[in-house]
Amino acid sequence: MYTSRITGMGKYVPENVVTNDDLSKIMDTNDAWIQERTGIKERRHIKKGDGNSTAVMGVKAAEIALERANVSKDDIELIVFATLSPDYYFPGCGVQVQDLMGIHTCPALDVRNQCSGFIYALSVADQFIKTGMYKNVLVIGSENHSGGLDFTTRGRNVSVIFGDGAGAAVVSRSEKEGHGILSTHLHSEGKHALELSLKGPSTNHWVPQLIEENPQEDIPYYPYMNGQFVFKNAVVRFSEVIMEGLKANGLEVSDIDMLVPHQANLRISQFIQRKFQLTDDKVYNNIQKYGNTTAASIPIALCEAWEEGKVKEGDTVVLAAFGSGFTWASAVIKW
């Protein structure tokens, strides 16, 4: 079997910066309250008319990744697109990317695993390459949260957390043993699905019912989150899946050169950092600037860490995520 490695990364975030003070003007919240609970200072939101969408942002990140990987769009043999906020209910964003980038009729696969989406997508690319089916796979995580959030006081517990953006990686075949993606580890526990969910619209509760019921107090097509329950599960599953990845590769916590956790909440990342006794230079966080960008958060953070020289060749990099589903996952990479 071959090995697979990330040969290029790119990221894109909208230019429109939304600060905590900006949100305090439209809902009952304030900068101190948001920072204390989430660590977030600002986030990026698509601005109407700026031409962005989930697929378009994915393309912008992907074009950078391809250039850095020195790979042509014609070399891409599979697109794997992770998002919970596609431009359309169907078709998915994968085929939009294929069309917008002028890529030949390669397969396009959409992954719906929310905050764990990028690692799930990375694992798909990894397996296709390791088995020899493809040489170059484009993996994208992109989210347009701002188009579907409740920007009133009623929705503040959720809406202050999320931002828009995209990250992308080119995953390519390599014959260098002991480098690249060493392993991926995926899990889910569906009994907690409704603790972090958006129940409508869906095929079980679709347009006719929405029209009939509108207006309504309890609006099912805005996200819901049981924050404390999610936090308690996140810190447990983060720890478990990181250790699972290390043990699978005969590694210790001390072998980690960089941990890039999903940017769900700075308090979760800090809890994990303390538990594993990792120094500040071994954990990368950028939720302060971008908020939680769900499937885009890990590729944006990993790309930024690499751009800043904090991820270097030969480093052991661990990616870890937990989110809606519940789903959680990790990847161990020798850069």
pLDDT digits (tens, 9 = 90+) for 166-209: 999 999 999 888 899 999 999 999 999 999 888 766 556 655 56
Instruction: Answer yes or no: are the C-beta atoms of 171 and 4 closer than 8 Å.
Output: yes
Q: How far apart are CA 249 and CA 32, in angstroms?
A: 42
Question: For the whole model, what pTM was predicted?
Answer: 0.94
Strand partners, 139: 80, 169
d(CA 151, CA 139): 31
1: confidence class by pLDDT, cuts 50, 70, 90: confident
pLDDT in tens, 326-335: 999 999 999 9
Q: What are phi and psi for residue 332, nearest 5 degrees?
A: -115, 125
Cβ-proximal residues to 85 (8 Å cutoff; 6+ apart), any chain: 54, 143, 144, 145, 147, 148, 294
> What is the percent of the chain with per-residue pLDDT over 70, rounded to a whole number?
94
Task: Output the pLDDT for position 206.
Answer: 57
Q: Which structure tokens are listed for 13? A: 């975030």
According to the model, what pLDDT value does residue 222 have?
78
Residue pLDDT, tens place only, 275-294: 999 999 999 999 999 999 99
Catalytically active residues are 115, 262, 292
- Per-residue pLDDT tens digits for 51-89: 999 999 999 999 999 999 999 999 999 999 999 999 988
